[in-house]
Structure 1
Amino acid sequence: SDTLTSNELGFQRVIPDLVGRTRRGGTYLGVGPEQNFTYIAAVRPALAIIFDIRRGNMLVQLRYKALFELAKDRADFVSMLFSKPRPPGLGPKSTAVDLFSAFAASATSDALYEQTLKAIQNQLTKTHGLPLAADDLTGIEYVHHTFYRNGFAVRPSPTYAELMTQTDGAGVNRSYLATEDRFALLKELESKNLVVPVVGDFGGPKAIRAVGGYLKERGTTVTAFYLSNVEQYLYQNKMTAFCRNVAALPLDASSTFIRSSSRDGGGFVSSLSAMTVEVKNCGRF
């Protein structure tokens, strides 16, 4: 099924604690679409790897990669993301609320949609030379068209604007589009090919193990691993395998799991835990 945007409205609430627990540099691991960017902007890793069992999420991430590289600033990025012409008056000091309020009044543009789609395709296949199959290009076009067709309501609730204008609970907006500095960090990582999408199964024998081997060769550790609510599916038959996969990663005392779990009354609540503590008990699952 499509998971083109997050449905975790309160995911920023753990960020102050997350920043206090983790170290800059190292490697961020995650799953899913754009919520990773906000966590990456918070922990400021040297490398980010985003897993997903769905190939479609890789295509979502590749579209983002192209847009980060093509956009000169946040307003350009939002313009291309939703095929809406850039409104006047937006600049480095604009807040996320300013951005999305201004773009809400900007109608979508067929010409900008086509122009941006071609630019994305060229960036990926010509500039980077990625050997994307026809089905992959069709998938990227589908994602691009969904953002164009639905606007901020890619997911009816929460909308993209709602996700980007939330706060950490103390009134601070920490979304990746909150400031130019956060956006610039993502743009730099993407431009250096340091945000890497991986198609793989958390409970499978290859993806996490292969990444762990690569990270050990580089002499880096995992700073944070965003799991979303994937574990509720792993408990069916793969939790032990997943735990052992994580235990094979290069970890230290600051390595932190970021989880999202359903709460009574609807919605999700995010939480943090120490990875090294949890993987000591893999055999008990």
Structure 2
Amino acid sequence: MDDTRAYHARRGIMPAMRVLALLAVLASCVASASEPALSSFASLPADPAPPELVRGNHYWISNEDHLELFHDAVKDKGGLYIGVGSDQNYLLGAWARAELLVLMDFDQSIVDLHRVYRVLFQKAETPEAFLRLWSQESKPEVRRLIEEGYPDKKERAPVLRAYGIARWAVERRLHRVVEQMKKAALPCFLVDADEYAHIRRLYQEDKVFMVRGDLTAQRSVRAIGQAAVQAGKKVGVLYLSNAEQYFPYDARYRSNIRELPLDESSVVVRTSGQRGITHVKGTYYHYNTQSGTSFLAWLEDAKTRSVLAMLRYAPDTAKVHGLSWLDTGPDEAREAMKQKLLAKRQAKKEKSRSRRTRGEAVK
């Protein structure tokens, strides 16, 4: 021991560098201790595979081409993000600055595709590098990354299959999203370094969880709700895509949604291709955003047997035809619709009376 170290040892004084190192370790321990346990998310039970897929298709990519309409609703919501489908979840999750992502789909192939996304996010340090990995030229590299990321052959095989089938469609879709968000003048994880880094960090910190989950089944959604409560997380964003148009609001679905920690700060975002409601011009879909408390209130209403029965009472925003916002319960919404129809009827009567008056004046 040199003279300086001996002096510090005798005096009980720790050198500054050792103090700083110890403080760093202590800070790390405190941070780890304050992070809620996420083990329940890591072991979410899968729901049984559906007897058949919608139209027999794997929906490898989203066909919702106006996701910019959800930006203001989901921005900086934080908390837990729960979403169905594929690429759209990364765009919305980054905007929301989600603390955790739970990605679910009743099609196991889409879950396998998210496992491809996982290895590419972990490998690519920038959005540009990420997009390059989806190119035709990068196929040998990506196959090697998948083999390294999933050493178990049984687990690796469906991931390779998903990549082999979906790669070209995903590449085309991602470049289309870049153009759409550029046109909308909004940040995008495929271009913006901060947006991309947020999703990549969630993967690096093991805060992205994937499960074959069915919104109407008995296991996954309920388990997600229980894991969220255990971890002390509120749902920031619940993204349902257009899934609800394919099933009724039965007891199981109502019960599943009630298991999720939704409140007035939560937002539910969905699309619907059904008739009887407005659609954004030139698209298949109506886009709807709804507060968590509003959704729970509608699910308590026995008359609300489907998403269409609810969306008929969701007024379009002044901003975009085909984009609605719903933050009230069924009684208030129905009364508002009643008053609107009465006002419209009264205006029609006034117009008719005015025409008759003008006609009598001409005579």
- TM interval, shorter chain, is 0.7 to 0.9
Query: Which protein is richer in helix relative to its size?
Result: 2
Distance 1:268 1:227 in 2: 13
1:48 corresponds to which of 92, 97, 101: 101
Structure 1 stretches lacking a partner, 5+ long: 83-107, 126-130, 154-158
* Aligned counterparts, 1:144-223, within 5 A: 144-149=163-168, 152-153=171-172, 159-167=173-181, 171-223=184-236
Decide whether the 8 Å contact of 1:10 with 1:269 is kept in 2: no
Give the TM-score of the pair, scaled to structure 1: 0.77
| Among candidates 67, 77, 92, match of residue 23 of structure 1 | 77
**Separation in 1, partners of 2:61, 2:68:** 15
Pick from 41, 49, 67: which aligns with 1:11? 67
State how far apart, in whole Å, the 2-side matches of 1:168 and 1:220 are: 33
Matched residue, 2:291: 274
* Match status 1:81 vs 2:134: yes
Report which of the two structures shows the higher radius of gyration computed on alpha carbons.
2
Map 1:30-179 to 2 at 5 A.
30-82=83-135, 108-109=136-137, 112-125=138-151, 133=154, 136-149=155-168, 152-153=171-172, 159-167=173-181, 171-179=184-192
- Which residue identity does 2:225 align to in structure 1? G
Aligned residues: 240
Distance 1:46 1:149 in 2: 30
Output the TM-score relative to the length of structure 2.
Answer: 0.61
When structure 1 is superposed on structure 2, of 140-149 and 266-275 the one drifting more is: 140-149
Please report how far the alpha carbon of residue 115 of structure 1 lies from its aligned counterpart in structure 2 after TM superposition: 2.2
CA RMSD of aligned residues (A): 2.1
CA deviation profile, 1:172-214 (whole Å, cap 9, x unmatched): 2333213011110010001111111111210111111111111
| Runs (5+) with no aligned partner, structure 2 | 1-56, 274-278, 306-363
The letter of the residue matching 2:140 is E
Indicate conservation of the 8 Å contact 1:225/1:257, yes or no.
yes
Matched residue type, 2:174: Y
Q: Which runs of 4+ in 1 moved over 4 A?
A: 147-151
Stretch moving more, 255-264 or 39-48: 255-264
Compare relative contact order (CA 8 Å, sep 6+) and give the higher one, 1 or 2.
Answer: 1
**Secondary structure class of the residue paired with 1:189:** helix
